[in-house]
Chains A and B, each alone.
Chain A
């Protein structure tokens, strides 16, 4: 609750600092202090309960999982602010407003981690995505940015419409918006007759399918991924970084919460009697996503576009959690959120400072900026899932959760194969940095020489990723304490 209210309030504070504070440099400071307040308030809530006692009529439920995810999201946003606030200032003349919108996105993410009601799911998704439409189009003079914003807005609002339709159908089939009280399993526990093909509500199954498709769109699972490459490529790199990290993790947490709530003996399990096998539907989504993401990423010449496709491929891995729906999946999605968000933020922080976004633009970076090249290598290895980096244990938890469900060995093998494919395009960047020479020796690959503070923070982030990779329990420890 603290995080939701404070991030909304801080959004308003940032909004007004744009008219009341004239110093452009001050916005970053205000945003960072605000984020620190939200972080402290959220951690305080984890141990001592909320400051604001508000009766949400059981529409929001704050358990350890959601509060811990909030902490992760807030910390990742903080890292993002520290690394890229300089680039945010360069996008256009509305620096404070960009921070405002990011705070609103954070508010949406915190709602999505705690929702207990389909209406709050809808509101959370809307609060999460509407600021993103604006951020995508924030480079007003850039045609690509405009195109991306329009495309994202049209397709995003269409998929939101699908979700609304699905929620309406679920309401028609069950008579409630609440996540856990949904019949029929709850009814059979109270002595009502078991569900059969005759009494199973088709509206509920249809609605659940629509909501699933809409959420698959939001997390860019194939075949609902078509918007993503253009949007990620067209949006200013700083905002792509945020969309690909915190926002995606939040959408996945929402997806997982919905499925875990519905899997406890309700629609996900019961649908099988009329031939809707949710395990199979999610398995098809996973394989499509891994296939499309990895194969398309191999063929890219532009690193930013490659990262867009690689983000589809990573979504395929996160979908394993929605497939297996057990405790390990919950732990895994949190670990994945940490590993993937931090690595993506780091890669984009370096990318947004590059002159040339193609693979050739990275040639010889190791010679001119060994520190940045080292950090970038760690981030890329983490995304590829190489041991000793955080990405390895993230992928490991995902695959292990599938193993726990039993009978699905083939899906694990498919996952491992595609993880091997993903090494190809991540290693190409490393190859250009270390083993190829820049054509123009003197000019350098970066737009301007990075400050020492930036170098130190990037390397520190890389070290954190290695530490999480060596001791993954250091992250999960906080989930249970």
Chain B
């Protein structure tokens, strides 16, 4: 058994295979924990199979029909456009963190970024992508 302090001593600052030993041990534990809990609960847990238990659970509402039905493309369009503008926010976080050090150049570049997004927004409005009724 490898002693913990030895592992830390053996960890060099450069990237060699030895440096990854703690990660491998961590991996073994993570996979082992998941596998063992699943297996143990599978063997020890009681099994009462009934119709109600095998039905898919959807917030207590009885399910009807299949999930693979044709869906109006409008829902998808609105959803994907929402995601686009939602993802935009992610890029503001790194900017917010470095707000002061980036200064006015950074501000200008963020304005440019927002301007491009607004151009896109103007385009989808003009293309009538957001009009719900046909």
Interface of A toward B, CB cutoff 8 Å? 12, 15-16, 18-19, 172-173, 199, 201-203
Say which residue of A16, A18, A172 sits within 8 Å of B15 (CB atoms): A172
Q: Which residue of B lies closest to A94 (CB)?
A: B127
**CA A294 to CA B13, docked complex, whole Å:** 50
Q: For residue A100, which residue of chain B has the nearest CB?
A: B123
Contact A19 B127 (CB under 8 A): yes
Q: Which residue of B lies closest to A198 (CB)?
A: B16
Q: How far is A104 from B56 in the complex, measured between Cα atoms in Å?
A: 45
Inter-chain contact B123/A19, CB cutoff 8 Å: yes
The answer for the CA separation of A199 and B15 in the assembled complex, in Å, is 9
Top 9 nearest A-B pairs (CB, nearest first) are A19-B126, A203-B15, A15-B123, A201-B15, A12-B119, A19-B127, A173-B15, A172-B15, A16-B123
Residues of B within 8 A of A172 (CB): 15
Q: Which residues of B contact A173 (CB under 8 A)?
A: 15
Q: How far is the CA of A385 from the CA of B79 in the complex (A)?
A: 51
Cα–Cα, bound, A214→B115 (Å): 33
Can you give 18 contacting A-B residue pairs, CB < 8 Å? A12-B116, A12-B119, A15-B123, A16-B119, A16-B123, A16-B126, A18-B127, A19-B123, A19-B126, A19-B127, A172-B15, A173-B15, A199-B14, A201-B14, A201-B15, A202-B15, A202-B17, A203-B15
In the complex, what's the smallest C-beta–C-beta distance from B21 to chain A, in angstroms? 15
Provide the residues of chain A in CB contact with B14, threshold 8 Å.
Answer: 199, 201
B15 to chain A, nearest CB (A): 6
Q: How far is the CA of A309 from the CA of B116 in the complex (A)?
A: 39
Using a Cβ–Cβ cut-off of 8 Å, how many residues does chain B contribute to the interface with A?
8
Shortest Cβ distance from residue A242 to the other chain B in the assembled complex, whole angstroms: 23
Please, which residues of chain B bring their CB within 8 A of the CB of A16?
119, 123, 126
Interface string of B1-25 (1 = CB under 8 A from A): 0000000000000110100000000
Q: How far is the CA of A273 from the CA of B17 in the complex (A)?
A: 17
Nearest B residue (CB) for A201? B15
Chain A residues near B119 (CB-CB < 8 A): 12, 16
- For B126, what are the chain A residues with a Cβ–Cβ distance below 8 Å? 16, 19
Sample of 10 further A-B pairs with CB below 8 A, known A19-B123, A172-B15, A173-B15: A15-B123, A16-B119, A16-B126, A18-B127, A19-B126, A19-B127, A199-B14, A201-B14, A201-B15, A203-B15
**Nearest-Cβ distance from residue B103 to partner chain A, whole angstroms:** 13
Residues of B within 8 A of A203 (CB): 15
- CB neighbors of A among B63-121 (8 A): 116, 119
Nearest neighbor of B17 in chain A, beta-carbon distance: A202
* B107 → A minimal CB distance (Å): 16
Chain A residue with minimal CB distance to B125?
Answer: A19
Taking the nearest CB of chain B, how far is it from the CB of A54, in angstroms? 10
Instruction: With both chains docked as a complex, state the minimum distance between the C-beta of B75 and any C-beta of chain A, in angstroms.
Output: 18
Q: Which residue of B lies closest to A55 (CB)?
A: B105
A204 CB, min distance to chain B CBs, angstroms? 9
- Which residue of the partner chain B has the closest CB to A19? B126
CB distance from B40 to the nearest CB of A (A): 35
Measured between alpha carbons, how far is A199 from B17 in the docked complex, in Å?
A: 11
Closest residue on chain A to residue B123 by CB atoms: A15
CA distance A173 to B17 in the complex (A): 12
A201 nearest CB across to chain B (Å): 6
Interface of chain B residues 1 through 56 with chain A (CB within 8 A): 14-15, 17
A172 and chain B: residue at smallest CB distance: B15
A16 to B116, CA, bound (A): 13
Q: Which residues of A are found within 8 Å of B15, using beta-carbon distances?
A: 172-173, 201-203
A201→B13 CA distance, assembly (Å): 13
Distance A435 CA – B65 CA, assembled complex (angstroms): 61
Contacts of B17 in A (CB 8 A): 202
| Residues of chain B with a CB closer than 8 A to A202's CB | 15, 17
Contacts of B127 in A (CB 8 A): 18-19
A13→B127 CA distance, assembly (Å): 15
Q: How far apart are the CA atoms of A172 and B19 in the complex, in Å?
A: 13
Smallest distance from the beta carbon of A141 to chain B beta carbons, Å? Answer: 14
A199 CB contacts on chain B under 8 angstroms: 14
In the bound complex, residues from chain A placing their C-beta under 8 Å from that of B123 are: 15-16, 19
